[in-house]
Amino acid sequence: ARVGSEMRWSTKRLPSGAGHDAQNISRHNIPTGMIFVPSQDGISHNPNEWTDWDDCSRGVEALYRSVLEIDQA
């Protein structure tokens, strides 16, 4: 959330049942996180899923800035 607020994007914590690779990595006490971007009508993991390119770009930017922040820690 810190990266998003620095960019003046609206952010929120999103409890999720999604585990993906983060679930397996965190079992080894490695801090993990996931970046979610909005999908049209909330549809995901479905052929009808669509995310606007601007939201995809924000997700990439958030990932990039997060990696830079971790690298500087």
pLDDT tens-digit readout, 5-60: 667 777 777 777 777 788 888 889 988 888 889 899 989 889 999 999 999 999 99
pTM for this predicted structure: 0.73
CA distance 34 to 20: 9
Residues near 7 by beta carbon (within 8 Å), at least 6 away in sequence = 58, 61, 62, 65
Question: What sign does the CA torsion over 12, 68, 50, 25 have?
Answer: negative
Let me know: does 51 contact 38? Beta carbons within 8 Å: yes
Is residue 4 very low, low, confident or very high in pLDDT (cuts 50, 70, 90)? low
Let me know: does 51 contact 37? Beta carbons within 8 Å: yes
